[in-house]
Structure 1
Amino acid sequence: MNNETPLDGRVVLVTGTTQGMGRALALDLAARGATVLLHGRDPRRLAAVLAEVRATGAEARGYRADLGDLAQVRALAEELLGAEPRLDALVHNAVAGGGSDPTRRELSAQGVELRLAVNHLAPHLLTRRLLPLLRRGGGGARVVNVASIGQSPVDLADPMLERGYEGLEAYCRSKLALIMDTFALAAELPAGEVTVNALHPAHLMDTPGVRAYGLVPEVGVEEGVRPTVRLLTDPALAGVTGRYFDRFTETRAHDWAYDPAARAGLAALTERLVAPFAN
């Protein structure tokens, strides 16, 4: 695309880079001149993708953490704050999908339903703890939350889906929660300092998560990389914040995302679950 700002000298953290769209996104950003901070859970796979990115001539550093453990999320943030002089962009790409057995309910290290923990609570906590680093560049930092067109309201009476669990439903609930948190954080931050946006990158990309659930991929991961990179590089989006995009088009999320009572309820739930790790 012609309407892109070069990433030379920019530092970008991408979560979930050891496979799927995250790996492709890291390689794309490296080719654009960015210094890429790679996150992964598996040390062997993280080392492999780190070597792959460095082989392109790009500068890259790796950070390991299990986002299903908020203690590790907090430790990751502290490690980044201590090691990195700046952070210009953050892409929350790591995901817990519907699972290979959608009837099997999984829990995080803190006993939270796993999709809600990885897809919503981890980005919520990590972004907020990294705000000093994002602000250090003097303005223009961008946060991109990789969400989904699959969105479903969180049942605030049963947020852990203890009744009638289904993996894809849990995934859709967590992604709507992520979008709502995008709107909430964007409202808190001056757009000239940090922008926060969410997107559905592409439909049924060829990723391990899609295949594990038993779905048939329709497009390659590069289809999701392009709109995600655009949110990081398009100068027309400078200062644009608190929006949800379906690929390249700004659109409306699920109606529940705009309900004041729903937003307040989700915010209260989120704060309660992350409170032990917020300070």
Structure 2
Amino acid sequence: MITPPRTVLITGSTSGLGRELARHYAAEPGHLILHGRNPAKLQQVAEELPGSVARISTVQADLADLAQVRQLAVQVAAVTDSLSVLVNNAGIGQGRGDVREFSADGIELRLAVNHLAPFALTLHLLPLLRAGAPSRVVNIASAAQYPLDLADRQLETGYSGSRAYAQSKFAMIATGFHLAGLLPADEVSVNSLHPATLMPTAMVAEGWGSTVDELATGVAAVRSLIDSPALAGVSSRYFSKQESTEALSEAHDPQVQRRLWQLSEAWSGVHFPG
């Protein structure tokens, strides 16, 4: 395992996978930064980690609002001058009833929260990640992947929650591959993973109603990408649990990656520096 202390930021740390990851990393030396949307829940999580070995900081933002994503990066920079690990965990599932919803910026909600928010946040935080090199970006994606229809990017026709969710995770993976290609792997690595199948979380309960894998399976998969010395300098990979595998074939297509990258920069207003 990589020797602490490190500075680790976990988005969506007030429930499910994020909350369990917070419990694990609170027990290690270093600085743990916990993000949540609800201030009361965020405070509750922090208070449930008494006697933590790590120093705990909290940052709050609604990732359905790109202005708050920008402010989240400002909050993080106010509590640390470097990041060792960014876990883009926060997200929303397929929801109930196939209701098409929108973010504060008028973007289809699942695309906004599951893809554009972590895309923008990662770019905003690149100076801190570079300062913490070698650092790791871990994108919590999904085996549910479906290419975006570039002629109907916001699913104005044929909307379903499951398709919107799958498209958002595809976009996360494909642009993650592209970002990895822009960064030296020994400086900042970028990998995505399907941590487990239908873990017992509130998101799964709402959207799917049944579970398959234990939460511990997902925690172990994410911790492997964060901690494993064998993955030092390994970037632009997709993992299913702890196995390196192939994402949907279109996600590996450089033209698809570039087009999604350009669209994501345009949608978010955030651009790769340089």
Fold shared per TM-score above 0.5 = yes
TM-superposed CA distance for 1:5, in Å, is: 1.9
Q: Supply the distance in 2 between the matched residues of 1:120 and 1:53 (Cα, whole angstroms).
A: 29
SS of residue in 2 equivalent to 1:120 = helix
* Structure 2 segments unaligned to the other structure (5+ residues): none
How far apart in 2 are the matches of 1:261 and 1:240? 22
Contact 2:94 2:161 (C-alpha < 8 Å) held by counterparts: yes
* Kept in 2: contact 1:231–1:237 (CA 8 A): yes
Count of equivalent residues: 273
Is 2:25 the partner of 1:12? no
Separation in 2, partners of 1:31, 1:60: 11
Residue 23 of structure 1 pairs with residue 30 of structure 2 = no
SS in structure 2 opposite 1:53? coil
The answer for unaligned runs of 5 or more in structure 1 is none
Give the corresponding residue for 1:69.
65
Shift, 1:81, TM fit: 1.7
**TM-score, with length taken from structure 2:** 0.95
Greater mean deviation of Cα atoms: 255-264 or 241-250: 255-264
Residue from 237, 252, 258 that aligns with 1:258: 252
Report Cα offsets for 1:108-143 as digits up to 9, x if no partner: 000000111111101111111111111112x21000
- RMSD over aligned Cα atoms: 1.5
8 Å Cα contact 2:28/2:53 also seen in 1: no
Q: Is the 8 A contact 2:66 2:268 kept in 1?
A: yes
Residue aligned with 1:264, SS: helix
Amino acid at match of 1:30: A
Q: Which residue of 1 aligns with 2:49?
A: 53
Match of 2:127 in 1: 132
Q: Which amino acid aligns with 1:105?
A: R
Letter in 2 for 1:111: G
Is structure 2 residue 157 aligned with structure 1 residue 163? yes
Contact 1:125–1:278 (8 Å) recurs in 2: no
Q: How does 1:1-279 map to 2 (within 5 A)?
A: 4-6=1-3, 8-101=4-97, 103-137=98-132, 139-275=133-269
- How far does the alpha carbon of each residue in 1:135-193 deviate from its partner, in whole angstroms, 9 at most, with x for none? 112x2100000000110000111111111111111001000100011101100001121
**Distance in 2 of aligned mates of 1:273 and 1:78:** 20
Distance, in Å, in 1 between the alignment partners of 2:30 and 2:48 is: 15
Normalised by the length of structure 1, the TM-score is: 0.94
Asked if the contact 1:40/1:46 (under 8 Å) is kept, the reply is yes
Residue 74 of structure 1 contacts residue 277 of structure 1 at CA under 8 Å; is this kept in 2? no
Q: Does the Cα contact within 8 Å between 1:120 and 1:175 map onto a contact in 2?
A: yes
Secondary structure in 1 matching 2:136: strand
The one-letter code matched in structure 1 to 2:112 is A
Range with greater deviation from structure 2 (48-57 or 177-186): 48-57
Residues 107/84 of structure 1: CA separation in 2 closer, same or farther (3 Å cut): same
Q: State the secondary structure of the residue aligned to 2:9.
A: strand
Cα distance, 1:262 vs structure 2: 2.0
User: Which secondary structure does the structure 1 equivalent of 2:210 belong to?
Assistant: coil
4+ runs deviating over 6 angstroms: 276-279
Whichever residue aligns with residue 2 of structure 2, its letter is: T
